[in-house]
């Protein structure tokens, strides 16, 4: 097991060039907390960003921060918090779900497009990532985007790289747009609604002028004995009170909500963000991205085929986190069949290596999109040295 830990971009380029010459593929590593994402790596060498750390630019008035890829996410968040700012997309922490330890890095947040409950309103990591520097599979430094939030100069390779799980290149530096932290946060909580009622409530709220920043539904048994339907508001105190009142009125048909505040509220949203309800079990865990109003139907169709499945809804119903007995295929056949008539897609997030190597982890692509995917991979990494097979077998 060789671990390369370059401390400069030039060293990173040199490592990649030598690896290409010797045809030794690499797995890429930040803090290792999300190493379970995608298909298991089939390579012995690692290229680590641990030697590339530090905030390289922070301009609070311009709402922009840049950091080397191996910078701990926590460092970025603390630096922002000192000036009352934050990353807009509430990146999830995969440690509870994977039982991993280590320190999440900002580079991996970009590479894996890691978002959280705020995604429904504030966008995903890909929407806030405005610049990248990476080493491509030719050992060249490539930059795309920059430090300004409005930039349409040339092809947007930033988006391609975000969520490519290291298959296109080794990130050395990333730049994010940031936002002010809200002055105050509050959560409205309804109890005892069915999935269909819960998602309908969330849809109605998200279609109102009152801007919920997060919208989740937890069926009974996850957040407590009763089902919980949750709307999180973030604003100045006077707006928060006004909007809470208006939403309670608008959604009167679903009963009177409780107010959830302080640490219990923060802890519950962290659980939702991290899918921590499924921490420490042997279940396979999936993320389903579907049209919100379809999600209760998708979940119940899956439950019929996979007895014992458990799930909850984030993003107003657009994201279903689902845990099912791992079985022989992690429930893949049933889940893909259930989504087929509805559209949307499913990603296997957690399952034993043998299963993740055997079934498609990401939604299988149509024939023409496979050709495009292979072409893009080759355009960045012609020798196939970065994370071969991490997203799709043979690519």
Partner 1 sequence: MSAIAFPAPDAGILARRDAIIAGLARLVPPQALITSDDERRPYETDALTAYRRMPLAVVLPETTREVAAVLRYCLEQGVPVIPRGSGTSLAGGAIPQEDAVVIGVSKMNRILEIDYANRVARVEAGVTNLAVTGAVSAEGFFYAPDPSSQLACSIGGNIGMNSGGAHCLKYGVTTNNVLGVTMVMLDGEVVEIGGAHLDAPGYDLLGLINGSEGQLGIVTEATVRILRAAEGARPVLFGFPTSEQAGAAVAAIIGAGIIPVAMEFMDKPAIEICEAFAKAGYPMDVEALLIIEVEGSDAEMDAQLARIVAIAREHGVTTVKESKSAMEAAAIWKGRKSAFGATGRIADYICMDGTIPTGQLPYVLKRMDEIVKGYGLRVANVFHAGDGNLHPLILYNCNDPVEAQKAEDAGMDILKLCVEVGGCLTGEHGVGIEKRDLMTVQFNEADLAQQMRVRAVFDARWLLNPAKVFPLEGRIAA
- Give, as ranges, the residues between 69 and 128 that touch partner 1 (CB under 8 A): 84, 113, 115, 119-120, 123-124, 126-127
Among residue numbers 143 through 182, which ones bind partner 1 (CB under 8 A)? 143-144, 146-160, 162-164, 168, 179-182
4 or 243: whose CB is closer to partner 1?
243
* 317 secondary structure, DSSP code: G
- Does position 59 interact with partner 1 (CB under 8 A)? The reply is yes
CA–CA distance, 140 with 134 (Å, rounded to integer): 8
CB of 279 to partner 1, least distance (A): 23
Place of tokens 């400069």: 8
In the region spanning residues 298 to 327, those forming contacts with partner 1, defined by CB under 8 A, are 315, 318-319
- Contact call for residue 14 and partner 1 (CB under 8 A): no
Using alpha carbons, list the distances in angstroms from residue 221 to 37, 224, 277, 313.
27, 5, 10, 13
Q: Which of 71, 136, 197, 229 is the binder for partner 1 (CB under 8 A)?
A: 136
| DSSP state at residue 23 | T
CB of 128 vs partner 1, minimal distance in Å: 9
Is 35 a binder of partner 1 (CB under 8 A)? Answer: no
Name the one range near partner 1 by CB under 8 A: 18-26, 27-35, 59-67, 329-337: 59-67
Judged by CB under 8 A, the chain residues 187 through 206 that form the site for partner 1 are 200, 203, 206
CB 214 within 8 A of CB 318: no
Query: With binding defined as CB under 8 A, does residue 62 bind partner 1?
Result: yes
Q: Rg (Cα) of the chain, in Å, rounded?
A: 21
Of residues 274 through 293, those in contact with partner 1 by CB under 8 A are: 289-293
CB-CB neighbours of 304 under 10 Å: 10
DSSP secondary structure, 42-78, as one string:
--SEEEE-TT--SEEEEEGGGTEEEEETTSBHHHHHH
Our CB check for partner 1 shows the closer of 146 and 384 to be 146
Calculate the CA dihedral of residues 320, 325, 330, 331 and round it to 10 degrees: -70
CB of 11 to partner 1, least distance (A): 17
Cα–Cα dist 262/253, whole Å: 27
- Tell me which of 18, 304, 328, 379 binds partner 1, using CB under 8 A: 379
Q: Does residue number 54 form part of the binding site for partner 1 (CB under 8 A)?
A: no
**How many residues in total does the chain contain?**
395
Question: 99 or 245: whose CB is closer to partner 1?
Answer: 245
Site membership for partner 1, residue 266 (CB under 8 A): no
Of 158 and 326, the one with the shorter C-beta distance to partner 1 is: 158
The interface mask with partner 1, positions 202-241, x = CB under 8 A, is -x--xxxx--------------------------x-xx--
Nearer to partner 1, 278 or 380 (CB): 380
Alpha carbons 159 and 156: distance in angstroms, whole number: 6
Bridge partners (DSSP) of residue 310 are 323
Instruction: For the CB of residue 305, give the shortest distance to partner 1 in the complex, in Å.
Output: 21
Least Å from the CB of residue 326 to partner 1: 22
Asked if residue 335 binds partner 1 (CB under 8 A), the reply is no
We find the least distance from the C-beta atom of residue 352 to partner 1, in angstroms, to be 22
Q: For the sheet with 2-4, list strands across it.
A: 2-4, 45-48, 26-29
Q: How far apart are CA 76 and CA 325, in angstroms?
A: 37
- Minimum CB distance to partner 1 smaller for 19 or for 319: 319
DSSP bridge partners of 289 = 319, 345
β-pairing verdict for 184-191 and 228-235: antiparallel
Q: Is residue 242 within the footprint of partner 1 (CB under 8 A)?
A: yes
Compute the half-sphere exposure of residue 392: CA atoms within 13 Å on the CB side of its CA. Answer: 14
Residue 225 or 253: the one with the smaller Cβ distance to partner 1 is 253
Query: What is d(CA 320, CA 217) in angstroms, rounded to the nearest whole number?
Result: 10
In the complex, the smallest distance separating the C-beta of residue 3 from partner 1, rounded to whole angstroms, is 26
């Amino acid at each position: 097991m060789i671990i390369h830990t370059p401390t400069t971009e030039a060293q990173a380029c040199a490592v990649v060039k030598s690896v290409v010459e010797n045809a030794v593929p690499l797995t890429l590593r930040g803090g290792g907390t999300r190493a379970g994402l995608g298909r298991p790596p089939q390579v012995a060498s690692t290229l680590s960003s641990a030697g590339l750390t530090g905030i390289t630019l922070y301009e609070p008035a311009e709402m922009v921060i840049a950091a080397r890829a191996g910078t701990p996410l926590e460092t970025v968040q603390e630096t922002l918090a000192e000036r009352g700012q934050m990353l807009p997309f509430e990146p999830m922490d995969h440690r509870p779900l994977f039982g991993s330890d280590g320190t999440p890095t900002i580079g991996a947040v970009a590479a894996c497009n890691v978002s959280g409950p705020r995604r429904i309103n504030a966008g995903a990591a890909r929407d806030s990532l405005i610049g990248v520097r990476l080493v491509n599979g030719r050992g060249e430094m490539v930059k795309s985007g920059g430090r300004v939030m409005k930039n349409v100069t040339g092809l947007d390779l930033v988006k391609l790289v975000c969520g490519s799980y290291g298959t296109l290149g080794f990130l050395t530096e990333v730049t994010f747009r940031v936002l002010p932290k809200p002055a105050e946060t509050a959560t409205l909580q309804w109890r005892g609604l069915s999935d269909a009622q819960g998602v309908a409530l969330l849809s109605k709220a998200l279609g109102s002028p009152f801007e919920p920043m997060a919208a989740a539904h937890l069926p009974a048994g996850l957040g407590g004995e009763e089902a919980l339907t949750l709307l999180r508001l973030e604003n100045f105190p006077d707006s928060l009170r006004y909007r809470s009142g208006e939403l309670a009125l608008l959604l009167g048909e679903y009963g009177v909500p409780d107010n959830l505040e302080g640490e219990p509220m923060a802890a519950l949203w962290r659980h939702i963000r991290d899918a921590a309800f499924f921490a420490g079990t042997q279940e396979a865990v999936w993320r389903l991205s579907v049209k919100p109003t379809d999600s209760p139907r998708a979940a119940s169709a899956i439950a019929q085929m996979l007895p014992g499945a458990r799930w909850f809804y984030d993003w107003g119903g657009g994201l279903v986190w689902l845990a099912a007995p791992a079985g022989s295929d992690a429930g893949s056949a049933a889940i893909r069949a259930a989504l087929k008539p509805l559209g949307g897609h499913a990603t296997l997030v957690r399952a034993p290596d043998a299963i993740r190597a055997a079934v498609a982890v990401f939604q299988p692509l149509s024939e023409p999109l496979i050709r495009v995917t292979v072409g893009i991979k080759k355009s960045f990494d012609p020798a196939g040295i970065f994370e071969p097979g991490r997203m799709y077998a043979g690519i």
